Structure 1
Amino acid sequence: MKIALEIAVTSAAGARIARDGGADRIELCSALELGGVTPSNALVEAVSAVGLPAQVLIRCRPGDFVYDADEIALMAGEIRSVIAAGAAGVVIGALTSAGTLDLEAMRQLIDAAGAAADITLHRAIDQSKDPAGTAAQAQSVGITRILTSGGAATALAGAEAIDEIAAAVPGMEVMAGAGVQPNDIARLAQAGVAAVHLSAKRPAPRRNGGAWVSLGVAGSDTYYVTDPAIVAAARSAIDNLP
């Protein structure tokens, strides 16, 4: 089975690097430094024009994945907007305070996307009480792709749990993500994944001409850009799998 390569990007330039480096699709977000939030429609349009299928992260704020009714309504609106702007699919997730998948919220978000869109359950699964059980819940509401680290800090550390998740949901595309490096791909392929997800990022050089003044977010003295060498190495690692 061929493993797909998904690169998380935050710009049209990153999308072009991913395309030229052999990625199969991209996940688009803003504020990767915060774990990613929903990008603007203008950015979705610019990235969609690059030509790779763009899976757009829908996350209205940083923090946990337990959302109130206003936040769910907002994300449903964001979904409709990004699909209209050219997104091939959306990347979503919502949990209850008990750590289970919020099925009602997920149904609202899936309905907003429409039948033609790809739907990925993001790493909310890794903050759930039972990742394998959450994957089964996701399958029951029609999600066909899951992004997971197996509940661990990195996908490599969670490889055994990812294998269990993949076994629990035959027919779903299970994608390993979180701290993935090209050298990890061979091991992750053994976990039964259908895709790997990585940001392939490096810090952008600081270009401010004066003193740095904090704007309120710890560690916000830089941002990340897509590194073509990492994308190429990931593509090579997949192409050289036995």
Structure 2
Amino acid sequence: MPVRLEVCVDSAEGLEAAVAGGAQRIELCSALDVGGLTPSKGLMALAAKMPVPVYVMIRPRAGDFIFDAASRDVMLADIDAARESGLAGVVLGASLGDGRLDVDLLALLVKQSRGMGRTLHRAFDLVPDADEALEQAISLGFERILTSGLAVRAPDGMALLRHLADRSAGRIAIMAGSGITPANAAHIIAGTGVAEIHASCRLPVTFVDEALVGFGFAARQQYRTSSVVVAEMREALSAL
């Protein structure tokens, strides 16, 4: 079975690079340096013009995934904005205080996103019981789970990724993400049996404009999506 590549981006330039490199699906965010937040309506509108499916991150702030009523309302409105923009799907996640999935809130978000594709994001990687969370995600109607196997990086969570891929038995896709590169993608796929890979495919960029850095308008070290790395990842996957 061919392995599908999803690339996460957080800018107009990132969108163009992902498409140019051959991404088969895009996760659209802002602020990838904190794991991705909901992007602007303008970026959503631009992404809807891309020739590949785009799923938009629905996450109103950085930090944990425990959301109050105000954040819930923001998320519901952002789902509406994603639909109105014509995007293919949404990326959702919410936690309870003990790390388990907030099934009640997720059910509300899933209902709001009816007719759209749905990915459960790496809030999954904080759960105390992966098997329980897997069954909950299936019951809620998610298409896939983005996970590193409850590790910080997917290469360190391969045993659990394999377990999840086996246990899912085709009922939901397991998409491996975090720390995946063209150099290790084949090894991870062979060791886990996942059929989808998620990666940022970014390269470091150092800002040398001292004014921008000094005023705080730019961090000296940044990362940008590279069409070259995306193409290298596609080549690594096509060789399987």
Compared CA separation, residues 237 and 129, structure 1 to 2 (3 A): same
Look up the SS of the partner of 2:51 in the other structure.
Answer: coil
Match of 1:113 in 2: 113
1:210 aligns with 2:211: yes
Compared CA separation, residues 100 and 18, structure 1 to 2 (3 A): same
5+ residue gaps, structure 2: none
Match of 1:3 in 2: 3
Compared CA separation, residues 181 and 70, structure 1 to 2 (3 A): same
Q: CA separation in 2, counterparts of 1:44 and 1:157?
A: 33
Q: Percent identity?
A: 37
Is the helix fraction higher in 1 or 2?
2
The Cα shift of 1:185 comes to 1.3
Q: CA separation in 2, counterparts of 1:41 and 1:123?
A: 23
Match of 2:238 in 1: 239
Deviations 1:166-207 (CA, angstroms, capped at 9, x unpaired): 222222111000011112211221212110000001133415
Q: CA separation in 1, counterparts of 2:113 and 2:200?
A: 24
5+ residue gaps, structure 1: none
The Cα shift of 1:213 comes to 3.4
Q: CA separation in 2, counterparts of 1:201 and 1:179?
A: 11
Aligned residues: CA RMSD: 1.8
The Cα shift of 1:76 comes to 1.1
Match of 1:224 in 2: 223
Match of 1:72 in 2: 72
Count of aligned pairs between the two proteins? 238
13-22 or 175-184: which moved more? 13-22
1:124 aligns with 2:147: no
> With structure 1 as the length reference, what TM-score do the two structures score?
0.93
Q: CA separation in 2, counterparts of 1:59 and 1:65?
A: 8
Q: CA separation in 2, counterparts of 1:161 and 1:131?
A: 9
The Cα shift of 1:15 comes to 1.8
> 4+ residue stretches of structure 1 with deviation over 4 A?
none
> With structure 2 as the length reference, what TM-score do the two structures score?
0.93
Tell me if structure 1 keeps the 8 A contact 2:138–2:172: yes
Match of 2:181 in 1: 181
Q: CA separation in 1, counterparts of 2:72 and 2:222?
A: 28
221-230 or 23-32: which moved more? 221-230
Look up the SS of the partner of 1:23 in the other structure.
Answer: coil
Question: What is the one-letter code of the residue matched to 2:70?
Answer: D
Compared CA separation, residues 212 and 139, structure 1 to 2 (3 A): same
Q: CA separation in 2, counterparts of 1:181 and 1:132?
A: 27
Compared CA separation, residues 112 and 213, structure 1 to 2 (3 A): same
Aligned residue runs from structure 1 range 6-155, under 5 A: 6-114=6-114, 116-155=115-154
The Cα shift of 1:209 comes to 4.6
